[in-house]
Amino acid sequence: MEKLTGLIAAPYTPMHPDGSVNPGIVPDMVDHLQKEGVAGVFICGTTGEGASLTVDERMLLAEQWVAHAGGKLPVIVHAGHNSVYEARRLAKHAQSIRAHGIAALAPSFFKPDSLDGLVEYCAAVAEAAPALPFFYYHIPSMTGVNLSMPEFLRVGGKRIPTLSGVKFSASDLMQFHRCTAMESGRYTMLFGSDEMLLGALAMGAEGAVGSTYNYAAPNYVWMMEAFKQGDMETARRFADHAVALVEVLLKHGVIRAGKAIMAMRGVDCGEVRLPLTPLSANRKQSLYEEVRALAIFENVDLQRPS
């Protein structure tokens, strides 16, 4: 696979009212994301509530995304799991359906106690899909595993033949920059904190994975273009829009608020799954009023929650 660049959306997992997965919404999500201008999808990660899904559900979603988006958008399948055997099963399945790549975050219950332990876990997952690029998903705020990513690439690059890069969902831009510069830019570094994307661009980012790219991608496309043109005043204005959006999301709950905004954009992905809880009807109305007032949605039609 060629080096990924641009915006990679982290799609929500569509749910029926009873909490079961609703794969029939995936084609609508694909059409919507294409119109938004994203360059690919990263499924069943944090935004997709991957840790709350069964392995069979994750396989079903992977099949649907590859079937409906595979010829239009690269599909990266998150295969991480606390059980390395389940992770290998997910990775093998992703290869069998011809996904474009796989990723895995670190186990978060029994955690790797060293860099070598993390590399060995990732190697075991990657070996199950030897034909696919492998990305490590670095998100220490969720896993509690916060090891050096430059060191991971240095050691992992020798141990994992398919290691292609890192989905870097952390705020340490110094580490991120060191990774982008390693071995003459060999690795694909996908930045994963939407509100900090402008800083990451300054540190060498060419691609990013995020949840707000599901419904506000043009803002970031324009930011990246302004940055490339050296128009920092415009780039900072779009960055301000992103920060204001994320502040609202944090207030209401990032994933459940994001799903509610998707419904406002006309793609109803349902509610979140336990242990997450959905927004009340009143909170959805408040969210609607707050996001409608944001500059990031100035020229976007939003449907009021029923």
Answer whether residue 106 shows pLDDT above 80: yes
For residue 137, list its beta bridge partners: 105, 167
User: How far from the centroid of its chain's Cα atoms is residue 33's Cα?
Assistant: 13
d(CA 41, CA 73): 7
pLDDT grade, residue 256 (50/70/90)? Answer: very high
The pLDDT assigned to 223 comes to: 97
Count of residues in the chain: 306
CB atoms within 10 A of CB 287: 22
Between 221 and 2, the more confident residue is 221
DSSP 136: E
For residue 207, list its beta bridge partners: 6, 190
The pLDDT assigned to 82 comes to: 98
Answer whether residue 4 shows pLDDT above 70: yes
For the residues 262-282, what does the mean pLDDT come to?
97
For residue 6, list its beta bridge partners: 207
Q: What is the pTM of this model?
A: 0.96
| Architecture of the domain defined by 6-229 | Alpha-Beta Barrel (3.20)
For the residues 161-182, what does the mean pLDDT come to?
97
Answer whether residue 233 shows pLDDT above 70: yes
Give whole-number Cα distances, 46 to 80, 157, 209, in Å. 11, 25, 11
DSSP 112: -
What residues are annotated to the active site? 137, 167
Answer whether residue 164 shows pLDDT above 90: yes
Span 60-83, pLDDT tens digits: 999 999 999 978 999 999 999 999
CB atoms within 10 A of CB 110: 9
